[in-house]
Amino acid sequence: MTCESVAWADETRFHELREEVEAFVRGPGEQYAAEIERDRAVPPRLWEDLNERGYLRLVAPEEYGGRGVPFSRYLELLELISMSHASVRMIVHVCNGVWRALDRFANEDQRKKFVLPQIAGGIRVAFTLTESAAGSGADLRSSVVRGGDFYYLSGEKHLITFGVSCDYWLLFARLEGTSGKNGTVALMVDRNASGVTVEAMPDTMGVRGTDHATLVFDRTPVPVAHRLGEEGDGLDVAFGGFLTPSRISVAMTCVGLARRAQELAMEHARSRRTFGKPLSSRQAVAFALAENAADIEAARRLALYAAGQWEQGDPHAGALSSMAKLTAVDMLTRVTDKALQVHGGIGYWESSPIERIYRDARAQRFEEGTNEIQKAVIARELLGTVR
């Protein structure tokens, strides 16, 4: 069976797909993980393999060449994929999300030029919002001035995932001289445009293999035809189209990684014997594993609830997405810490699988906004409702 043949209304076939994904994670996925950790780079054939399996377009509409998996069901698959190496789940997560931000504001020409090729795996698009001298988006410093049929872009971006290896940057800037949301624009910037300096960032603590970039733009020409939506729509493209569902997705990636940490901890607790008894018989260890199980299930249910509300168009979905992410990343911190503790000293060595998971787990605390950003979003919703 291939992904192409799955009828999503058929629960049996979805179950078969889920089994297929899990088999990939526990088989080829582990081989890719070892290679990535050894070489500190994602092999090009991983992108090709994921694309051929259809995993990079699971949620895209069937009429666009995607699998058409509903978002909530996709999260079940993402949970499994997130049990693999962090770079594997990063590729799947970004590719299944960025098309949506493009499509909501794209005209037909842009849909043919950017959206459909991205879904098909023909081009890679890097979400390019973060700046070293700015915060959560509304205070963007990168700016553009318009001259005829072009914008001229100046400014800096950093921590841009796939910023080195992409074909386009989905970049957010503001019209020079403006402030606040209304001056923002969303632009598709060609990776080979003139006036751009691309610098690969140093290796990270975890998520090894995924490239990140610092970008400097010096009056880089960008066709006005590459603007998504109107002037002033920039942050709507970023937040509504990408960040809300992406934060829910990141929450579920936390669940998947925590689930893998819990598996490893239980395996070790059952096999490791002290004073003639398995660790699992020790109440302190058993209670830690029980707490982990409750933590994981609570985070999973909140993420799925937020996904369902977003699918239904709930106006509070943005706050729910932040709640889901905040809860899940804190859960992941607790679960991985206890899982490493169950392993004892041996878990600290690179030869132990829990060591990589412990490092990878820290990344989700920064993806799509820190805990402090999530709290600000939630508080704004709460206090606004009260008023």
Domain at 24, CATH number? 1.10.540.10
Residue 16 shares a structural domain with residue 137: no
Tell me the average pLDDT across 210-237: 96
What is the pLDDT, as a whole number, of residue 52?
A: 97
For 171-202, what is each residue's pLDDT tens digit?
A: 999 999 998 888 999 999 999 999 999 999 99
Handedness of CA 72, 50, 34, 250 (dihedral sign): negative
**Nearest by Cα to 371 from 384, 362, 358:** 362
One domain, residues 255 and 230: no
Angle, to 10 degrees, between the axis of helix 244-271 and the axis of helix 353-360? 160
What residues contact 337, with CB distance under 8 A and at least 6 apart? 358
pTM of the predicted model as reported, rounded to 2 decimal places: 0.92
324-378 pLDDT tens trace: 999 999 999 999 999 999 999 999 999 999 999 999 999 999 888 899 999 999 9
CA 232 to chain centroid, in Å, comes to 25
Percentage of residues in the chain having pLDDT higher than 90: 87
pLDDT band at 239 (very low <50, low <70, confident <90, very high): confident
Domain span at 361: 235-386
Same domain, 116 and 13: yes
- Are residue 143 and residue 43 in the same domain, yes or no? no
The answer to whether residues 151 and 293 belong to one domain is no
Domain tally, the chain:
3
Q: Rg of the chain's alpha carbons, rounded to an integer?
A: 21
Q: Say yes or no: 133 and 31 in one domain.
A: no
